[in-house]
Structure 1
């Protein structure tokens, strides 16, 4: 933590939590054991991000494509998710964290949506970090749905074609009330985005680490943040322009 500048932390940190199954397989354990261990990592990282001053933390918890996994694993994951949400509400309240979910919630089982709604309601008054879980989430699906809603508003005369720009379109996405991520971390050594926040990641710094998610701790988080702080974010400008303040 001594290496970090508290004034240069990412406002919005996004994480693809990958490698739970591989962590379990390397230890000859069932995949669900890896997912359970991954939940412990979630607790650690959420609390640390809240403590050091990250404003938004978005975790890719269950993708739209994950429904294709074996039914037994999906059922176990849903049970684990429900338990996590219910058990973490008191911790979120103690840490002033507001809970949020993005994704196609209509695909989630009713008992999951009930737990999500309750957690959102209870934490809605909190003013600290916003913790967002991406559940049944796919970015291409999100963009297509946003385009359909926008097209409907144009057809209804609520918006003219001339008004459409990047900012307006962003308002139709699940993340309309969030800034774009400043940093994306992906664990397990995979170097791809996997249909996660494709629109929002346009100028996000990417950080890939070889270790699996259950092994990702506070030390590894700080290393990722230190790496981020050493980068120069130019957003299309030159270094000379940034130094001149233009």
Structure 2
């Protein structure tokens, strides 16, 4: 074996040795949430920041005119949340092809336990998954509402989720679990033949009425 061949062989053995040794690295057990004692040296620093942060969050942030960092932060946040909502629509509509189960004669609105036990449901059960998914991903309670919409000509009812994005609450985003109204994330104004009539969540219920005001009912 020449020098080159010997070098390659030794290098290969070295990689194998590293991989084998990595399997036996000790795992350090840690409890990450032990209550800090009163004499912890970082107490004062952390508590000072916590106090100022809570106060800061309770009032509007005064933004400098040239704060491009915060402008970029807001733009990225909005873009990311829209991508998440769009991905949620794509996912639930994909699942609806395999898990749509019509109610039959009785229009039973499913709970999450119902959807799990039957491995599917109709539009209201699948919409529940959309609603809960956005909640789990951090969308605020005053942003996400389940919504009954009706098609003007046929009178057909359907269940969707509306996302009242900050700054555009009068024209919320619509997430349709089955694609009857829209096959992707759209604004409510993009589907003028469908009218929202009721919005609700697990604790609140509002009727939708046309208003001359600029803000939606769910601003409450």
* TM exceeding 0.5: no
Q: Give me the TM-score of the superposition, normalised by structure 1.
A: 0.21
Structure number with greater Rg is: 2
Higher relative contact order (CA 8 A, sep 6+): 1
Q: Give me the TM-score of the superposition, normalised by structure 2.
A: 0.23
> By percentage of residues, which structure has more helix?
1
